[in-house]
Amino acid sequence: MKKFLKRTGPFLLTLLLAGILLRRGIQWSELQALLQKAQWGWLLLGLLWQACAYGAVTWLNTLLLWHYDARVPFGEQYLIQLAMAFIEAAIPTASISGAVLRVRMLKPHKVPADVATVTTMAEMSLITVSVIMLALPVAGIALWDGMLGALGFNAWIIILFGILTLVIATIMRWHSPRSVQIRGKLLREISRFWDDRVRTRWPQALAPWTSQRLFERLRYFSMGFLSLLHDRPLTIILSLLARSGFEALGLMMCFFALGQFLPIQTILLIYTLTIAVNTLGAIPGGIGLAEISLTTLYVQFGISTEIALAIALAYRLTDYWLPRVFGGIAWLWLEGHFPRRTLETIS
């Protein structure tokens, strides 16, 4: 039953959201005329901003690897980031497939597997935290400007404040007996998942890496990671801000292409919500779900259904699909020039 819901859930949710949009009414002739009048040149600039966002993530990885005395050419790291995006879309296994690919690609540069894995996990963690930290002040500005309805409260504000409250409560209760018990149970579940599901899928590459050994290395590298944050806080923060800024500019270009010139604070609010919805496209069966979900989101800001649909399709094209196409090309190029780096275990 669980597998059935996992496979059919995204499809059913897509149908539900599509039904909501159709009830609002979509004038297909108006949509066609809108697409013909759109200024698609803005999307080229949007692609450029997305390329810069990947550059910011590559810079972040460079900083993380430097801390462990690993030197990898920036251009090659950039191609690896694109290839990871493609692999994670083609084989969506909680981003593990992309991490394995990165380990193999960095091996010729004498980057140990544990260093490559830890820096990948650090990158994902920092990006997640940066998005949350950006969302809170943006929501606060929107609340102050009265953009979110009567008294400034709606579901999004409640969710954001709920997340902040949860984070504060977790920090305050981190060393309590109950928290220690919960963390122990969670670590046991992660260990079981790693040993039973992950290591068995890639036995050649991960056989030596038991969960116990992995956690020991993670504890060791977490101390190094904390020292990295202490040594280079400004450059790391700048790289994260650059990534979010470039991605927000890419989204803005999609609005500009359809003649929607919204205030910057509104664009930032829409961007933070878009990031949450955009992750739906990474799950199996998520094709179409993210596009329709984004359309439903943009309609809430007073944009017509036709324009919202066109913006959602343009954004998904520039932010998700085209980077994955380029990532596939980058992966094939890396395989052709460095055949020993290919990910034989992924099939």
Band of pLDDT at residue 187, cut at 50, 70 and 90: confident
**Which of 13-17, 57-61, 83-87, 115-119 has the weakest average pLDDT?**
13-17
Query: What band does 347 get if pLDDT is binned at 50, 70 and 90?
Result: very low
> Are the C-beta atoms of residues 186 and 83 closer than 8 Å to each other?
no
Q: Rg of the chain's alpha carbons, rounded to an integer?
A: 22
Structure tokens at 254: 């999609």
**Would you say residue 177 has pLDDT above 70?**
yes
Residue 35: burial class (beta carbons within 10 Å; 0-12, 13-18, 19+): middle
- What are the distances in angstroms from CA 54 to CA 38, 134, 282? 26, 18, 17
Number of Cβ atoms within 10 Å of the Cβ of 313: 16
Amino acid at 320: Y
343 within 8 A of 87, measured Cβ to Cβ: yes
Predicted local distance difference test score (pLDDT) of residue 330: 93
| Phi-psi label, residue 262: left if phi above 0, alpha if psi -120 to 50, beta otherwise | beta
Burial of 32 (0-12, 13-18, 19+ CB in 10 A): exposed
Q: Count of H helices and E strands in the chain? A: 16, 0
Q: What is the pLDDT of residues 31-41, one digit of tens each?
A: 677 777 788 88
Taking the model in full, what pTM does it have?
0.75
pLDDT higher than 80, residue 331: yes
Residues 256 and 42 sit within 8 Å (Cβ to Cβ): yes
Nearest to 308 by CA among 327, 321, 320, 295: 295
Q: Which one, of 124, 110, 108, 104, lies nearest residue 64 by Cα?
A: 124
Q: What is the percent of the chain where pLDDT is above 90?
A: 20
Q: What integer best gives the mean pLDDT of the chain?
A: 77
Q: Which pLDDT does position 104 carry in this prediction? A: 85
pLDDT at 283 over 70: no
pLDDT, average across residues 227-242: 84
Highest mean pLDDT among 205-209, 219-223, 282-286, 333-337: 333-337
Q: What pLDDT, on a 0 to 100 scale, did the predictor assign at position 248?
A: 92
- pLDDT band at residue 76 under the 50/70/90 scheme: very high
Q: Region 298-324: what's the mean pLDDT?
A: 88
The pLDDT assigned to 169 comes to 75
Q: What is the mean pLDDT of residues 82-108?
A: 79
pLDDT band for position 114 (50/70/90)? Answer: confident
pLDDT of residue 22 exceeding 80, the answer is no
Report in angstroms the alpha-carbon separations of 181 from 170, 209, 213, 273, 316.
13, 25, 21, 33, 42
Alpha-carbon gap, residue 280 to 153, rounded angstroms: 25
Q: Which of 306, 326, 301 is nearest to 87 (CA)?
A: 326
